[in-house]
Amino acid sequence: MNNYGIDIWGDNNFFIDNDLLKINYGCKPAIIDIVQKIRQDGNKGPLLLRFEHITQKQISTLYNTFNNSIEEYNYKGSFQAVFPLKVNQLPNFILPLVKNSKNLNYGLEAGSKTELILAMTYNNDNAPITVNGFKDKEMITLCFIAASMGHNITVIIEGLNELETIIEVQQESNNLKSPNIGLRVKLHNSSSGVWAKSGGINSKFGLSSTEILKAHEILKNTNLIDQLTMLHFHIGSAMNTISPLKKALKEAGNIYAQLKQMGANNLININIGGGLNLEYSQFKRSVNYSIEEFSNDVVFTLQNIATNKNVTQPNIFTESGRYISAPSTILITPVLELYSSQSLATDIKLKDENPKLIIELYDLYKTINKKLALEFMHDALEHLESILTLFDLGYVDLQDRSNAEVLTHLIIKKAIALLDFNDYTELKNIADRIQEKYLLNFSMFQSLPDFWGINQEFPVMPLTHLNTNPTRFATLWDITCDSDGEIPFNANKPLHLHDINLKEEEYFLGFFLVGAYQEILGMKHNLFSAPTQININFDKNGDIKFNNIIESQKILDILDDIDYDTNHIKSILKQKLANKDIWKILNNYIHDNGYLKTTKE
Ligand code: PLP
């Protein structure tokens, strides 16, 4: 049976039980049951299910793995982490994360003024805050204000001008407390992931070696050297191979050691940024390291450099966000329609008198079996070709041609179901050409922007029918009026789905690992808003709880968001409709979201 690579990307968070996909936690509910429950309350569009226990698992794994490495190597520094807000700023994700990780002293990273305000508001007391990205005087002043509130905040310098602004703010505001200062290193080593641009010599961010020396001189001359507590680097998100990290650690470790030797006595932290990746592939592993290897490499390399250079072993900071947030969230998309190039048995409309070839085709269809499947399929293809020629010559009519096409498709379909088509190149080639288009109730631009933007792969699978062999070669369409809103069938990474009669039953696909970056990058192309989102928890007894449901925006609210006067819209529409009953219907529609309703309603 097709397990959709769940053993590769699933990390034991899910399991297939009989024909259902289930959550491997608490009462182990089937995802379809969760979905049906939410849909009973009228939420018929796409859904975002966020599982808080998975975020918790990722955070504890990160801390435990690093602490194990620290213990194993008898490392002298400590481990600390912050969650980079840019990866997921939404309150339904951030607020539980902050609350549930208080005991670990897990902090937040901010890359803009707005993110900094969030960190200043919600960060756990005493947990670290790091601030990256370009900063103006106002943003640096915000860092001073955060420090004055009692936050343990480090402002990480991207350029020498920022250092000068820090000095300026410090001199101007006697009553504000100074934040700690960090230097971001512009590495000559960068990552191999899709976001590799954020590391390396041409990176937008960080200080070159010359600038680091200058920064050190400025800090020393202005008596601020004791505020320098952190060296930071980030080699890029979604790192697929470990070797760039090792090189980056050596580079940053040696800079750290030299700055220490030059008198930066309070420099005690190395912040390794993000980069820790997850396995997104459904087919074969694409990430060549485990989190254990990652943490061992960090600890070992930094220890080695510190020992050789006879300096204190630094505390290790990480800002990994993708690893923490991606697995927690599943996007559920109802299948609305199947645009089939295949046919149904009900499409066969035999006449009272049929051409001999059609009668033979019908016989092949009725009697095909595993042993003769290939032979029957060849015969059917030959018969179809003959019928098409006879049609062109005017000897058979449109009904005969339709019957021949339907029967041949059905025979091929049966052959595919009877044989393992991967063993038969010819069958595989035929099957590859007969793709089915599954129309999904979602917007790619809103919910999977990284697929559209950078071809990011997301695991996808049906929630049901998992003990039935999927026979259809699926292309996925979203409901935007944009031909980019498609995940085309890829013969190298084929998605096979089930043959479903949507008039009789519903069929849902889940997209996994969508909790990092997707929600905030999502855009309102065609004015589709974010799906309805639900946080899912389990209590001590393992019973499931639905929290913080945020419904997908109503049509009028979406228009309000892009600055339309919705009262004006309403009054114009109302004016145009004399009939009060019709206005009632229209009024209901504009107070609902714009996603489609499934066919079975
Ligand atoms: N830290 C910084 C400075 C970043 O720019 C980023 C993202 O690009 C991260 C952390 C998060 O990295 P990741 O997505 O690999 O978790």
One DSSP character per residue, 430-474 reads HHHHSEEEEEESS-HHHH-HHHHHH-----EEESS-TTS---EEE
Q: Is the CB of 132 under 6 A from ligand 1?
A: yes
153 and 244 assigned to the same domain:
yes
Q: Residue 303 Cα, ligand 1 centroid: separation in angstroms?
A: 24
Structure confidence by residue, pLDDT tens digits, 585-597? 999 999 999 999 8
Best residue among 62, 83, 87 to mutate for probing ligand 1's pocket (most ligand atoms within 8 Å of CB) is 87
Q: Is the CB of 190 under 6 A from ligand 1?
A: no
**Measuring from atom 12 of ligand 1, which residue has the nearest CA?**
274
Alpha-carbon gap, residue 383 to 130, rounded angstroms: 71
Domain contains 597: no
pLDDT attached to residue 44: 85
Q: Residue 99 Cα, ligand 1 centroid: separation in angstroms?
A: 22
Q: Is the CB of 296 under 6 A from ligand 1?
A: no
Q: Residue 122 Cα, ligand 1 centroid: separation in angstroms?
A: 20
80 and 34 assigned to the same domain:
no
Best residue among 59, 62, 80, 86 to mutate for probing ligand 1's pocket (most ligand atoms within 8 Å of CB) is 86
pLDDT attached to residue 173: 84
pLDDT attached to residue 428: 72
Q: Report whether 271 contacts 233 (CB < 8 A).
A: yes
**How many domains, in total, are found in the chain?**
4
Q: Is the CB of 58 under 6 A from ligand 1?
A: no
Alpha-carbon gap, residue 565 to 412, rounded angstroms: 56
pLDDT attached to residue 600: 54
190 and 310 assigned to the same domain:
yes
Q: Report whether 328 contacts 54 (CB < 8 A).
A: yes
126 and 220 assigned to the same domain:
yes
**Measuring from atom 10 of ligand 1, which residue has the nearest CA?**
274
- Stretches where the chain sits below pLDDT 70 are 189-204, 341-342, 421-422, 431-432, 598-601
Domain with residue 27: its CATH number is 2.40.37.10
Domain with residue 241: its CATH number is 3.20.20.10
Last residue of a domain, one of 396, 431, 466: 431
**Which domain does 580 fall in, by range?**
556-590
Domain with residue 403: its CATH number is 1.20.58.930
**Measuring from atom 2 of ligand 1, which residue has the nearest CA?**
273
Q: Residue 16 Cα, ligand 1 centroid: separation in angstroms?
A: 33
Domain contains 325: no
Nearest atom, ligand 1, residue 156 CA: 3
Last residue of a domain, one of 431, 454, 474: 431
Domain contains 199: yes
Does residue 283 sit in helix, strand or coil?
coil
Cβ density class 127-150: b for 16+ within 10 Å, e for less: bbbbbbbebeeebbbbbbbbbeee
410 and 285 assigned to the same domain:
no
Nearest atom, ligand 1, residue 239 CA: 15
Tokens representing residue 168 in the block: 């300026």
Domain contains 596: no
Domain contains 601: no
Dihedral sign, Cα of residue 458, residue 463, residue 467, residue 472: negative
133 and 190 assigned to the same domain:
yes
Domain contains 315: yes
420 and 274 assigned to the same domain:
no
194 and 268 assigned to the same domain:
yes
pLDDT attached to residue 195: 47
Domain contains 595: no
Last residue of a domain, one of 431, 453, 483: 431
58 and 27 assigned to the same domain:
no
191 and 107 assigned to the same domain:
yes
Best residue among 158, 231, 234 to mutate for probing ligand 1's pocket (most ligand atoms within 8 Å of CB) is 234
Domain contains 185: yes
DSSP state of 97: H
Structure confidence by residue, pLDDT tens digits, 307-341? 999 999 999 999 999 999 999 999 999 999 988 76
Q: Which residue has the tokens 């004791």?
A: 226
Structure confidence by residue, pLDDT tens digits, 358-377? 999 999 999 999 999 999 99
pLDDT attached to residue 418: 86
527 and 560 assigned to the same domain:
no
Alpha-carbon gap, residue 277 to 275, rounded angstroms: 6
351 and 309 assigned to the same domain:
no
pLDDT attached to residue 187: 86
